């Protein structure tokens, strides 16, 4: 997992580390994360990126014998979340494997999802032959904390003593709170989760459309407005 510094000089230390590791690695190796630079001019829209930065990055991954695995989804994986006229998009995040990885795990794909309210796109790496499914996550809303009923619900569940290790007690408390807070949400907040979900779906659809039309100012403005609305929920 990689997180590279913003500065060119600071990134050189990471490059030397990767080249040293690659020289001693004969096993499948996957390198993924935020590299804070791009390989090609087309991977950046707005802002500055020097030719020296791109050349240093290309030299590093070439000496490491790495290349991008198959990618789907967003081309630009980061944005500065500014107003549309000051917006910068870049492909800062990558998933790269060495020759041994490609030979053994060539069926894996990296998919970059719409970023939502984050500045980076989340990424999932999965075998194309396998389906992805799972339970729906519980979501906490900051607005709940403004209600005295919320504090009372938490206090009532928290004060009940349980015979177990401390960490297990916390897990039990959170599990017991889940249905109580869901009911509080529906009763006192007009089911804010559904409002958030609808707005989130709209934001995702706009961001997916921006993948094909990254220079569409009207879409960028619409994304900014919907993102601000979602932050307020």
> Tens of pLDDT along 11-68?
889 999 999 888 888 889 999 999 999 999 889 998 877 888 888 999 998 888 888 9
Give domain limits for the chain: 2-127, 142-188, 192-231
**DSSP letter for each residue of 38-74:** -SSGGGEESS---HHHHHHHHHHHHHTTEEEPEEEE-
Phi, psi dihedral angles at 93 (to 5 degrees): -105, 135
Instruction: Give the pair of three-digit tokens for residue 153.
Output: 């619900």
Read off the pLDDT band of 230 (50, 70, 90): confident
Separation of alpha carbons 16 and 68, rounded Å: 19
Separation of alpha carbons 42 and 91, rounded Å: 9
Instruction: Give the pair of three-digit tokens for residue 210.
Output: 């921006």
∠96-131-121 over CA atoms, to 5°? 45
Residues 199/117, Cβ–Cβ less than 8 Å? no
Q: Is residue 164 packed enough to be buried (19+ CB in 10 Å), middle (13-18) or exposed (0-12)?
A: exposed
Read off the pLDDT band of 78 (50, 70, 90): very high
More confident residue, 193 or 35: 35
Tell me yes or no: is domain 2-127 CATH 1.10.10.10.
no
Write down the pLDDT at residue 68.
93
Q: Say if pTM beats, i.e. exceeds, 0.75.
A: no
């Amino acid at each position: 997992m990689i997180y590279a510094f913003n500065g060119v000089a600071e990134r050189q230390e990471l490059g030397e580390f990767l080249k040293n590791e690659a020289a001693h690695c004969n096993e499948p190796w996957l390198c993924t994360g935020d590299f804070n630079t791009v390989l090609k001019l087309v991977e950046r829209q707005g802002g500055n990126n020097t030719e020296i930065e791109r050349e240093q990055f290309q030299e590093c991954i070439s000496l490491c014998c790495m290349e991008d695995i198959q990618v789907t989804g967003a081309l630009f994986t980061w944005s500065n979340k500014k107003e549309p006229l000051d917006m910068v998009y870049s492909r800062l995040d990558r998933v790269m494997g060495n020759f041994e990885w490609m030979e053994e795990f060539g069926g894996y794909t990296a998919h970059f999802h719409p970023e939502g309210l984050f500045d980076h796109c989340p990424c999932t790496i999965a075998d194309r032959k396998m389906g992805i499914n799972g339970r729906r996550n519980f979501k906490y809303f900051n607005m709940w904390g403004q209600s005295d009923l919320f504090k009372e619900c938490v206090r009532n569940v928290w004060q009940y003593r349980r015979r177990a290790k401390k960490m297990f007690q916390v897990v039990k408390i959170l599990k017991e709170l889940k249905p109580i807070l869901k009911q509080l949400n529906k009763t006192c907040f007009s089911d804010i989760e559904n409002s958030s979900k609808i707005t989130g779906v709209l934001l995702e659809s706009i961001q997916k459309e921006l993948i094909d039309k990254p220079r569409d100012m009207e879409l960028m403005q619409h994304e900014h407005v919907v993102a601000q609305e979602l932050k307020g929920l």
